[in-house]
Amino acid sequence: MRAAILGGTGVYSIEGIQTVEETVETEFGPVVVMKGTGQWEDLYFISRHGTDHSIPPHMINYRANIQALKNLAIDRVLAIYAVGSITDLVPPGEFGLVTQFIDATQGRINSFYNGGKSGLKHTPMDEPYCGDLGSKILASAKKRNLSMAKSGTYLCTNGPRLETPAEIKMYKMWGADHVGMTGATETVLAREAGLHYVAVAYSINWAAGMGDIAKTNERKIWDGFFPN
Ligand code: HPA
């Protein structure tokens, strides 16, 4: 059984695992993947933003990434998203399973079914993430004493700009726990492709206007994300 990790901001390799680089050709374009070696030869890794963090969230070739996983006969995917915290559910520095999303992106190609030859399909999103893989991730986190929220709602913005405090206030009223720029687009395509897809959010900052002033001034827990 083959598995893949899709890493976001700050996740550019898998610690302790030697990989070799491969390019997978897809009908949507080429994708660079890292393939594990030795006992990890069935594990693949894709860095969504490129290994040098050069691909902005609205320019990621999401369809190609998911199609590459399909072409490699991968059926289980762990997605890791960097997020800003809106509620205290997953504060900066912590992890949480993502169990729902709200899609606030615009203008992205977010489906494999775009009419014509590709046809039309309305994929259900009642359960966007694989519950079975979710339980395994939670059990594994518990075994390692890693605190992980059991659920959470991810709000996906278009980016690449960050949000205004007014937007974050609105997203909070909508029920969002954290905010990021990639999760919804990728989840929809993964579900359309029939992958077992589970997502973990790790927070790198308080979202705009959240927390008290001291917290807001200490937003930059991961410097690479914010401009200096
Ligand atoms: N907003 C949007 N995306 C993000 C953030 C944020 O504050 N932090 C990490 N990804």
pLDDT of residue 31: 95
147 alpha-carbon distance from chain centroid: 19
pLDDT of residue 113: 97
128: domain range? 3-206
Please count the structural domains in the chain.
1
CA of residue 11 to ligand 1 center, whole Å: 15
Which atom from ligand 1 is nearest to the alpha carbon of 157? 2
Does residue 80 form part of some domain? yes
CATH of residue 137's domain is: 3.40.50.1580
pLDDT of residue 14: 80
Nearest CA to ligand 1 atom 7: 84
Does residue 109 form part of some domain? yes
Does residue 211 form part of some domain? no
pLDDT of residue 214: 45
Looking at residue 83, its amino acid is V
Cβ atoms of residues 189 and 112 within 8 Å: yes
Probe target for ligand 1 pocket from 205, 222, 223, with the most ligand atoms within 8 Å of CB: 205
pLDDT of residue 213: 45
Give φ, ψ of 174 to 5 degrees. Answer: -75, -15
Does residue 38 form part of some domain? yes
Does residue 221 form part of some domain? no
Does residue 218 form part of some domain? no
Nearest CA to ligand 1 atom 4: 180
pTM confidence score: 0.92
Q: Which residues line ligand 1 (CB under 6 A)?
A: 82-84, 157, 162-163, 179-181, 204-205, 207, 225
Does residue 215 form part of some domain? no
Cβ atoms of residues 181 and 156 within 8 Å: yes
CA of residue 162 to ligand 1 center, whole Å: 7
Strands 31-36, 19-24: parallel, antiparallel or unpaired by DSSP?
A: antiparallel
pLDDT of residue 8: 80
Burial class (CB in 10 A: 0-12, 13-18, 19+), 132: exposed
Nearest CA to ligand 1 atom 5: 84
Low-confidence ranges of the chain (pLDDT < 50): 213-214, 216-217, 228
Give φ, ψ of 181 to 5 degrees. Answer: -125, 5
Looking at residue 14, its amino acid is I
